[in-house]
Amino acid sequence: MSVPALEVRDLSFSYPDGTAVLHSVDFHVHPGERVALLGPNGAGKTTLILHLNGIFSSSSGSVTVAGLPATEENIHEIRRRTGLVFQDPDDQLFMPTVRQDVAFGPANFGVQGAELDDRVRDALEAVGMLEVADRPPHHLSLGQRRRVAVATVLAMQPEILVLDEPSSNLDPASRHELAHILEALDITMLMVTHDLPYALELCERSLVINNGRIVADGPTSTILGDRELMRANRLELPYGFDPSFIRPGRT
Is residue 143 left, alpha or beta, with left meaning phi > 0 and alpha meaning psi from -120 to 50? Answer: alpha
- What kind of fold does domain 6-91+160-232 have according to CATH? Rossmann fold (3.40.50)
Q: What is the pLDDT of residues 48-100, one digit of tens each?
A: 999 998 888 877 899 998 889 988 899 989 988 999 999 999 999 999 999 99
Query: Higher pLDDT residue, 71 or 230?
Result: 230
Which tens digit of pLDDT belongs to each residue from 99-145?
Answer: 999 999 999 999 999 999 999 999 999 999 999 999 999 999 999 99
According to DSSP, the β-strands at 60-65 and 68-69 are antiparallel
Confidence (pLDDT) at 238: 86
